[in-house]
Amino acid sequence: MCEALLEREHTIFLAGEWRHGHGAGPLEVIDPGTGAVLSRLRHGSAADVDKSARATYLRDFARGLEARRDYLVGVQMHSNGKPRAEAPVAKTRALRIGSPVEEGTEIGPITTSAQCHKVLWMVEEAKSDGLDCLTGGAIDRDGQFVKPTIFRDVPRDHMIWHTVPFMTVFEEINRNSPITLKYNQ
């Protein structure tokens, strides 16, 4: 281990990788237990600190974008004249339904016939209550393959808001009010 660290002599760890520092002279890293020199690192300069800060900021910014991806897609879709609901609908329609043993399958069958009938009954109840079914809610093929389903504007007191087996509930939320939705799946 000491040899591997000594190979990095005169380098510093910046932005996820070892780089040559621009500061003055080496700094010895000493094992407090043995007093042995573990490594010699070059002092960092103000430029090194700036690089590290920029890299950290960009990494955190990228993580923030990724965490808010769905919201940002919705904003972009809305600003291009498309309803926010169209983005998840297109993505949902593109999902590959099939047997779990088939390569590329993203959605498999519902496990029991009784559960399949319950899901279809719940979809029909939601439709008969006037809920807007944007996609899915029907049998895809022989067997217990139900198309992924998206409803819009589901009231919080509606049955499918609280019991969401194997389907997606999508609600358009006022973009100015942060809200966390909990789905029981």
Distance, in Å, from the CA atom of 103 to the CA atom of 109, rounded to the nearest integer, reads 15
Give the model confidence (pLDDT) of 7-55 as tens digits.
555 566 666 677 776 777 777 778 888 988 887 777 777 777 788 788 8
Q: What's the CATH code, domain 72-169?
A: 3.40.309.10
pTM of full prediction above 0.85? no
Domain map of the chain by residue range?
Answer: 2-66, 72-169
What does pLDDT average to in each consecutive run of 10 residues of the chain (185 residues)? 51 68 74 85 75 84 85 70 65 84 86 87 92 86 83 82 60 42 38
Distance, in Å, from the CA atom of 96 to the CA atom of 7, rounded to the nearest integer, reads 50
Distance, in Å, from the CA atom of 8 to the CA atom of 162, rounded to the nearest integer, reads 57
Q: Partners of 13 in the beta sheet?
A: 18
Contact in structure between 126 and 119 (CB atoms under 8 Å): no
Phi, psi (degrees; rounded to nearest 5) at 154: -80, 120
| The pair of three-digit structure tokens given for residue 115, joined into one six-digit string | 């559960």
pLDDT of residue 130: 93
Residue 16 region, left (φ>0) first, then alpha (ψ -120 to 50), else beta? left
